[in-house]
A and B are shown apart, each in its own frame.
Chain A
């Protein structure tokens, strides 16, 4: 029997893209703050910050547009902003409204055309960036968490009605946000590579990679890969907790979780696409690339094809996570009548 899904691809894409964009902006803003506080390593963090800020707003705007198109009448969503109530969707849409505005402003401050030799202007711009990044971190986290709370607010959907779902979506949002930054730099780096001056990077008192062009690219890659690795590990842990606590209970949640567990109708999609392709394989690849630098302080080599494939796999996994959760939540309901 065919299930009629109330929320389908527009909503799934929206949950994914909003999380991704918010994750990219939030991690970008955080690395901007680090770059500002750490002039010695400013470069690595600043590139991340810039990519995250410039890319971040677009997935969110695309996702929101999908939602508005799904509603049919473009004027109708304006009703959302006549009230604030305690519905997760109401709070989330206000968060989104503010966040789209601030993240777009933030992206504008990073545009190359704003680069100027005027010292006073660039100083002021830096201050604006600083304030906006302080604003965008909580707002981005708020948007990413809200996508999980949105689903989790209803007892009638036992699979979603779990407090850890919001955390899962937040970690996945940050991880896909970083994957977007990795993907962008692996595609765009050709240009920026040549523009880099030769310089030496000192790491823990040890000289590494003197006079090697593109050293900064590798170092930023190391930073991104380790962060992504940590986030993926947390995500795996959260998924484990999510499944374990559902499986250990008796009743609606266990019944609903059976669709994801082996033997269920969505188990292959979940275990192959989300866990294997989206999490385990990227984590293993990143672990192997990062280990030499981590253990023996060997200069990190960022291979563009590897970076590209890993980030694409993480992005696919992030989407499939939203897909599996949204669909599995809707084809299951409370047991009995």
Chain B
């Protein structure tokens, strides 16, 4: 017993310094151990606090929006949006080409594209078109995840754009977008997307895809103005948006869109579904 106690206080130099510090150390030790646990608890509380603050800020912002909308008295900012009348779409890809040439986009990326949805088995088959672009959502989840504020929703017209000077190319917004509307510029490395042809729209000209559409399937306008063509179309028709359940409140509305997806082959009545797209990533819609 005494032997083991002696070995605790061995006689080399480092042990001497240890013994010198021990009394002081002993006095503050139990507190130190507890402090460790307290720090760990504090850390978790700090994380929780950050998360709560984040959600509180966000919900307060959206509450403010709601109150403005409810009274209807507040001056509402423009919110550009689009109605796509799928009945008029002939799947000609004119919008795709117009967009590509408008921005001189590199190979392999698109801001605007058309999907073909085929379903059924011969002779009972159907095919419809689904023109796609950025939805310029009212709750853009891409904006909420951007670490540098490079992507934001413009106050004045509701267009979601990317500031390429700030963008670091982390691709977080690509992950967050439920519509696959964003891509990484293969040459410059930054993220890019549809901006509703902001250079044309700010001059009072329609976006390129709208003015080129041969069937007049794409209609562009201010959703906040009840007299605009898009607002009237939305009132008069049964419109849908893509992936409503994501809670993003898209501002691109579809008339008579076929929302059939490959997952619908699980339904008993849908035998065969094929989604054709010329985008590089064939699997993601």
Contacts and interface: CB of A to CB of B under 8 A. Distances in A.
Given A87-B172, A137-B43, A200-B3, A156 B283 contact: no
A58 B243 CA distance: 43
Given A77-B168, A90-B148, A153 B29 contact: no
Contacts of A197: 7, 10
Interface string B4-23: 10011010011001001110
A1 interface: yes
A72 B191 CA distance: 13
B36 A34 contact: yes
A91 B50 contact: yes
A39 to B, nearest CB: 6
Interface residues of A, number: 68
A7 B171 contact: yes
Contacts of B22: 39
B21 A123 contact: yes
Interface string B22-53: 10011001111101100110111011001101
Interface string A83-99: 10111111101000000
B145 interface: yes
A82 B167 CA distance: 12
B282 interface: yes
Nearest to A68: B168
A26 to B, nearest CB: 8
Contacts of B121: none
Contacts of A154: 141, 145, 175-176
Contact of A36 (B29, B39, B177): B29
B40 A137 contact: yes
A89 B167 CA distance: 13
Given A117-B13, A141-B43, A202-B4, A335 B261 contact: yes
A83 B10 contact: no
Main secondary structure on B side of the interface with A: helix
Contact of B46 (A33, A83, A142): A142
Contacts of B175: 6-7, 154, 156-157, 330
B264 interface: yes
A90 B246 contact: no
B33 A126 contact: no
A80 interface: yes
B120 to A, nearest CB: 17
B284 interface: yes
B103 interface: no
A194 interface: no
B252 interface: no
Contacts of B68: none
Given A33-B36, A119-B17, A154-B141, A79 B168 contact: yes
B29 A155 contact: no
Nearest to B148: A79
A247 B131 CA distance: 34
Interface string A1-33: 111101100000000000000000000001001
B236 interface: no
Contacts of B32: 33, 36-37, 130
A217 to B, nearest CB: 17
A39 B29 contact: yes
Contacts of A115: 14
Contacts of B285: 333, 337
B145 A200 contact: no
Nearest to A136: B39
Contact of A79 (B33, B166, B172, B281): B166
A117 B178 contact: no
A93 B168 CA distance: 13
B149 interface: yes
A72 B150 CA distance: 17
B130 A337 contact: yes
B33 A38 contact: yes
A138 B149 contact: no
Contact of B147 (A1, A40, A93, A330): A93
A6 B247 contact: no
Contacts of A4: 280-281, 283-284
A90 B143 CA distance: 13
Interface in B267-285: 280-285
A331 B262 CA distance: 14
Nearest to A156: B178
Nearest to A200: B4
B54 interface: yes
A297 interface: no
A333 B284 contact: yes
Interface in A206-231: 207
B261 A336 contact: yes
A255 B245 CA distance: 15
A9 B161 CA distance: 29
Contacts of A73: 169, 189
Given A4-B284, A155-B246, A336 B263 contact: yes
B231 to A, nearest CB: 24
A200 B7 contact: yes
Nearest to B264: A336
B36 A122 contact: no
A204 interface: no
A156 B173 CA distance: 10
A1 B282 contact: yes
B94 interface: no
Given A72-B189, A336-B263, A337-B130, 11 more contacts: A4-B283, A37-B29, A39-B26, A76-B169, A86-B54, A87-B144, A117-B17, A119-B17, A137-B36, A154-B145, A155-B247
